[in-house]
Amino acid sequence: MAEHLLVIENLHKTFGATEVLRGVDLNVDSGDVVSIIGSSGSGKTTLLRCVNMLEDYHEGRVLIDGEEIGYTRHDGKRVRLPNSTIARQRALTGMAFQTFNLFPHLTALKNVTLGLVKVRGLAKDEAVGIARRWLDRVGMLDRQDHYPSQLSGGQQQRVAIARAIAMNPKLMLFDEVTSALDPELVNEVLNVIRDLARDGMTMLLVTHEMRFAYDVSTTVIFMHEGRIHEAGPPSEVFIRPRTPRLAEFIQNSSFRA
Amino acid sequence: MELTQFLNEAWLSRGAIWDGFVMTVAISALAIVLGTVLGLFVGIALVYGWRPLRFLVRLYVDFIRGTPVFVLVLASFYILSVVGIDLTAFQAGVLAITVFCSSHVGEMLRGALAAIHRGQTEAAMTIGLTFRQTFLYVLLPQALRQILPTWVNAATEMVKASTLLSVIGVAELLLATQQIISRNFLSLEFYFLAGFIYFVIDFSIERLGRWVERKLAYS
Amino acid sequence: MGYQLNFDAVWRNFDLLLSGLGLGLALAVVSIFLGSLIGLVAAFAMVSKNRLWRGLAVGYVTAIRNTPILVLIFFTFFALPQFGVRFDKIESFVFTLTVYAGAYLTEVFRGGLMALPRGLREAGLALGMTEWRANLWVVIPVMIRNVLPALSNNFISLFKDTSLAAAIAVPELTFYARQINVNTFRVIETWMVASLMYVAACYLIAAALRRLERRLAIPR
């Protein structure tokens, strides 16, 4: 059996008394585009954040290319890995956030080169070359010397995506990347992601853009109350939902086939 | 008042005034530089320190900030000698103002670090930066820019606080002025002159600060 | 080395330290009240359309804020009497601290005035109030409540500045501490107790002022 790129097994996560994830299993293969949909509070963002250990979890495993992320087993007990190891593992994935989180004190170019130089240890020239290539790819090369405050939300998000992708991650995580954008800026960001998907980038995305999820995904996952309630190719999930819960969710969404 | 008499006296005491000015600048610069370096560690300890350390540093900051600088200067001057640390009045005074400066810088840095949005740390972590790298390349530069205006203000406060060293006999500008006045009794004129020189120093620091701030603006 | 802590001498003189603390507080209270009056007038001058008033207020604030308070204290105490101004040392210090506080409070009040919604003054005028009355009955009461936290901070730093009165022999806490220090050589104990008294007083004042702020706050 060929190994999956990402394996999530029986993931459990609680915040205080609330159990946000109640046993999630998911396999993602290289080249897959997996969209996670569901109402707020269903645990979709938390699931994404467990994959790169922005959240600790309490039970289960996450493996990328067979390597367990965040924890190791010691005499049958789970032990959290040292922060330096987790930092290295985080570079296996890239993430784009709802709020962009560009570094405001750095230009667009320096936002991208920071990780290349400090984490991947590239020489400055090489880092600049890679950064410029990716900024060009997201249509932001002409703004490379602008600071985030001088860019629109859509432009900031495109730089943030370039910053993540330039690190050459095996898997990209997109956390509601268009939710904070003005409607007229949504498409420029979605087009960048669509373009990356066409190139075979493996990605896991949490989104409210149903039409977009329908168009780009290989698999769509519907989360409800901390579990994967239904999963399948978009044509099934959106057009022929099997459960009433999903049917209702699709009905209430903006999705029209 | 006789303007010519004042000008004459001022000319005669130019050496003493210059020496006082140099001493004031030396005290202030030393206290600001040392206090800022110490203050950065204080701020870091307040945010990231191991719990008992954080508690101790918090105690230090609150104690220093609750005590008048003048009391710090006098205490430093009188206490250190009895515990066998032989410092000159100059050193004891600079130490007191350094400590004063460090508690303020520490509190500023703590506030600035706490105000940085959590997403900054997360974004840094997701590109694989370690905590140390995140702090050095992402959080600290932002915090330092954030505190710059308050820091410049604090720097002018240190210049003003340097006058307190006159009371323990350090011949800075104010004591030099008093010595001149005790010779020629032109108190109004020479206090005015001293006040004006302090004004020029503080005003220059403030202007310099604004200039640096503009230079560092994200644009 | 080999210094043995012994607080006896300090406790024997504790009533002196306490009376000094009391005087310091009194000096700060008087100065913040008088300083507030100056501050209010200068703040209105700063936002007025009259360039002369504005210039005078800006000059006053800039000059005072950039001059060390000790220079101001000595100036008032040693230089002003030459012109027939007769002060005893307490009056002289209160005068200095008031003028000093006034400059800082001007900035506080100016900020408060600028932050008020425009409509507030206009609403007063619309009720038929004169400009003066609208300011007195509407603008100032609202503005003062908004700047209470800044006033509290200013009061605490004024209280700490009263330690400087020792430099002209006003018998407040620092003055007595220095006296006890010199007379008894209980150096560490004296300064420890004195600074703890300042810290405790600042802490209690801050707590009391926060309660007052809450009482006076406009409900939202």
In chain B, the domains with their CATH numbers are 17-216 (1.10.3720.10)
Domain boundaries, chain C: 8-216
Phi, psi of C66 (to 5 degrees): -100, 5
Q: What are A201's two structure tokens? A: 């980038």
How buried is B1 (Cβ within 10 angstroms: 0-12 exposed, 13-18 middle, 19+ buried)?
exposed
B83–C188 CB contact, under 8 Å: yes
Residue A156's pLDDT band, with cuts at 50, 70 and 90, is very high
pLDDT, tens only, B157-201: 999 999 999 999 999 999 999 999 988 888 888 999 999 999 999
Residue A161's pLDDT band, with cuts at 50, 70 and 90, is very high
For residues C3 and B82, the answer to whether their CB atoms sit within 8 Å is yes
Report domain C8-216's class.
mainly alpha
pLDDT, tens only, C127-175: 877 777 888 888 888 898 889 999 999 999 999 999 999 999 999 999 9
Closest partner residue to B119 among A52, A84, A99, by Cβ? A99
Q: Is B133 on the interface with A (CB under 8 A)?
A: yes
B123–A83 CB contact, under 8 Å: no
What average pLDDT does this structure show over C39-46?
A: 94
Tell me the β-bridge partners of C206.
none
Q: What is the pLDDT of residue B213?
A: 87
Question: Considering Cα of A36, then A42, then A46, then A50, what sign does the dihedral take?
Answer: negative
A55 interaction partners in chain B (CB closer than 8 Å): none
Contacts 24+ apart (CB under 8 A), C48-53: none
What residue in A sits closest to B122 (Cα-Cα)? Answer: A54
pLDDT, tens only, C93-102: 999 999 999 9
Residue C118's pLDDT band, with cuts at 50, 70 and 90, is confident
Residue C123's pLDDT band, with cuts at 50, 70 and 90, is confident
For residues A226 and A42, the answer to whether their CB atoms sit within 8 Å is yes
Q: What is the pLDDT of residue C171?
A: 93
Q: How long is chain B?
A: 219
Q: Does the pLDDT at position C70 exceed 90?
A: yes
Closest partner residue to A90 among B117, B125, B142, by Cβ? B125
Closest partner residue to C187 among B69, B79, B159, by Cβ? B79
Q: Is B67 on the interface with A (CB under 8 A)?
A: no
Buried b (16+ CB within 10 A) or exposed e, B107-126: bbbbbbbeebeeebbbbbbb
Pairwise CA distance, residues A215 & A247, whole Å: 18
Question: Considering Cα of C161, then C167, then C168, then C172, what sign does the dihedral take?
Answer: positive
Q: What is the pLDDT of residue A30?
A: 92
Q: Whole-prediction pTM value?
A: 0.87
Q: What are C44's two structure tokens? A: 């209105």
Q: What are C24's two structure tokens? A: 């310091």
Q: What is the pLDDT of residue A1?
A: 44
pLDDT averaged over chain B? 92
Q: What is the pLDDT of residue C202?
A: 94
B119–A148 CB contact, under 8 Å: no
What average pLDDT does this structure show over B97-104?
A: 97
Q: Does the pLDDT at position B1 exceed 70?
A: no
**Cα dihedral B39, B41, B43, B45 in deg (nearest 10):** -150
**Chains contacting chain B through 3 or more C-beta pairs under 8 A:** A, C
Q: What is the pLDDT of residue A171?
A: 94
C194 interaction partners in chain B (CB closer than 8 Å): 71, 75
Q: Is A121 on the interface with B (CB under 8 A)?
A: no
Q: What is the pLDDT of residue A252?
A: 86
C174–B194 CB contact, under 8 Å: no
Q: Does the pLDDT at position C80 exceed 90?
A: no
Q: Is B117 on the interface with A (CB under 8 A)?
A: yes
Q: Does the pLDDT at position B126 exceed 90?
A: yes
Minimum distance, in Å, between the CA of residue C174 and any CA atom of chain B: 7
Closest partner residue to B70 among C79, C80, C174, by Cβ? C174
pLDDT, tens only, B148-169: 999 999 999 999 999 999 999 9
CA atoms within 13 A on the CB side of A27: 5
Q: What percent of chain C has pLDDT over 90?
A: 63
What residue in B sits closest to C167 (Cα-Cα)? Answer: B167
For residues A160 and A153, the answer to whether their CB atoms sit within 8 Å is no
Residue C184's pLDDT band, with cuts at 50, 70 and 90, is confident
pLDDT averaged over chain C? 90
What residue in B sits closest to A112 (Cα-Cα)? Answer: B127
Q: Which residue has the tokens 């003005």?
A: A182
pLDDT, tens only, A71-128: 988 888 889 999 889 988 998 999 999 999 999 999 999 999 999 999 999 999 999 9
C200 interaction partners in chain B (CB closer than 8 Å): 66
Higher pLDDT, B84 or B65: B65
B127 interaction partners in chain A (CB closer than 8 Å): 90-91, 94, 114-115, 119, 163-164, 167
Residue A222's pLDDT band, with cuts at 50, 70 and 90, is very high
